[in-house]
Structure 1
Amino acid sequence: MCRWMAYQGDSIYLESLLFEQEHSLVHQSLSAKKSEVTVNADGFGLGWYDEREEPGLYHEILPAWSDCNLKSLARHIRSGLFFAHVRASTGTATNRSNCHPFSYKNWLFMHNGQIGEYDSLRWQLDRLIPEYLYNERRGATDSEVIFLLMIANGLETNPEQAITDTLAQILDIMKSKNIKEAFRFTSVISDGTDMIAVRFSSDEQCPSLYCKKFDDHIVVASEPLEFSGNGWDLVPESCMARIKNRDYQITPLPALLKMAV
């Protein structure tokens, strides 16, 4: 499983969280503690907001710990809202187009998890992507399909409903095809101002998701950036965390609880 983190707060240099923390994301790429997979070496990506409306992006197929470009960029880029992701592939190729985060206009999305038996569902899921969005598909991951379906389901006008509808849509298709392998989904999405993080699984092995509020910022991550984990709140399963103005509110996803395959 992948590892990721997202930041909202005062503008900082990216290196302060990507490299300088005790259990930074780059450290997690070598030694994850809350994941089935210890090493996440199938590429990485950054997404950040600055003066422009659309986010900047950087993707690379090298392991995060071995790319000198990442270290240089993180030392010089400042942002008040950014995403970072280290990838452990669940079957698709290791190339830049499959690296997170994914973007559309002013939106960023990244994900940890997988759609069970995705290969047997891929054709059917692709058919749900509207024609006007299909050319936005760059890679072959289930994560990108989920993001495009959210956009099709109204992400730009009602993100909470679009997220819920998309998860339900995928679960319905899995159920119709009698898929028994789990759908696991821990993600974060942003419009450049606020963020929404989701922790959901159709079984009892939901990928981890943590939030921590500081005086001048908030961090959402697959696992704490310190070994102690002090002050990091584990988001409950089947819940959504709305992150706004350096604070967060957690609400359940009750409609999905009855739809688990």
Structure 2
Amino acid sequence: MCRWLAYSGSPIRLEELLYRPRYSLIDQSLHSRLGVETTNGDGFGIGWYVPGAPEPVLFRGVGPAWNDPNLREIARSTTSPLFVAHIRASTGTPVQQTNCHPFRYRNWLWAHNGSIRDFHRLKRDLVLAVDPELYTSMTGSTDSEVMFYLALTYGLRDRPVAAVERMAGLVESVGRAYGVPDPLQMTVATTDGDRTWCFRYSSEGHSRSLFYSTEMSALRRLYPEQESLRGLSEETRLVVSEPLGELAGAWQEVPESSYGVIQKGDDELGRFEPAMP
């Protein structure tokens, strides 16, 4: 499968999360502890927002993240208040740049860990459900990108949770029609540059791992000696496939079949329920 993280809060350099933590995303590309595969070397990507720009910047590569000098250069010189990073382990589709996450449509980003089981059998029916006006923007061949464009088709830009629930409902319906057991496995991060939505769901009820960071005020009380926590705002949040470190109390598991919204003010956590479109 894959590993990803989504960050929102005080502007920081990308390397602070991609390289510096003990279990950074780059470390996870070689030594994942909670993933299906230990190594995630089939490409990588980062999408980050620049205040005032209409679209996020996207940098993707087909090589392993741990061995890309351009990624290291960008990470140490780029600061952003909101970004999504992904390291890929292919589930069967080609290793090519257009198949690397995150995917971008205008101001939206999308990253996924998981798969649509027997995607090669379900793909035609799913792709035909994509809005024709959106279809021409699809450039890759992954199930993850099809999920993104189905969510866009069902209203991601207006009602994100409902749109992803409809996408999941369609995948399960088509899967059942083809006799595919437990067709959907997903953790997803998607953002419009202001709010970030995260989802954890699987048809079998045993989803891939997903965690979110504890509130900054609580972490500072627990670890007053941690200098890295001092400059971060109370709005700062991080969602990850697996924790970046071992500070007790720093990470909370996202419940099974749930969605979360990271936003200014109170965040939101709710029940995720697929629905037929």
Into which bin does the TM-score normalised by the smaller protein fall? over 0.9
Partner Cα separation in structure 2 for residue 92 and residue 181 of structure 1:
20
Alignment of 1:127-146 (within 5 A): 127-146=128-147
Shift, 1:230, TM fit: 3.5
**Contact 2:214 2:252 (8 Å CA) reproduced:** no
Partner of 2:244: 225
**Contact 2:214 2:249 (8 Å CA) reproduced:** no
Shift, 1:182, TM fit: 3.7
Partner Cα separation in structure 2 for residue 14 and residue 165 of structure 1:
33
TM-align CA RMSD? 1.5
Alignment of 1:54-203 (within 5 A): 54-203=55-204
Alignment of 1:13-52 (within 5 A): 13-51=13-51, 52=53
Using the TM superposition, name which of 11-20 and 181-190 deviates more. Answer: 181-190
Q: Secondary structure at the match of 1:129?
A: coil
- Aligned-partner residue type, residue 80 of structure 1: P
**Contact 1:8 1:246 (8 Å CA) reproduced:** no
Shift, 1:152, TM fit: 0.6
Cα pair distance change 1:205/1:79, threshold 3 Å = same
**Contact 2:175 2:183 (8 Å CA) reproduced:** no
Partner Cα separation in structure 1 for residue 105 and residue 21 of structure 2:
30
- Aligned-partner residue type, residue 207 of structure 1: R
Give the alignment's TM-score, normalised by structure 1. Answer: 0.95
Partner Cα separation in structure 1 for residue 119 and residue 157 of structure 2:
26
**Contact 1:212 1:233 (8 Å CA) reproduced:** yes
Residue ranges of structure 2 left out of the alignment (5+ in a row): 217-232
**Contact 2:243 2:251 (8 Å CA) reproduced:** yes
Deviations 1:139-185 (A, max 9, x none): 00000000001111011111111111111111111111111154101
Partner of 2:261: 242
- Aligned-partner residue type, residue 48 of structure 1: W
**Contact 1:218 1:247 (8 Å CA) reproduced:** no
Residue ranges of structure 1 left out of the alignment (5+ in a row): none
Partner of 1:9: 9
Deviant stretches of 4+, over 4 Å:
none
Equivalent pairs counted in the alignment come to 257
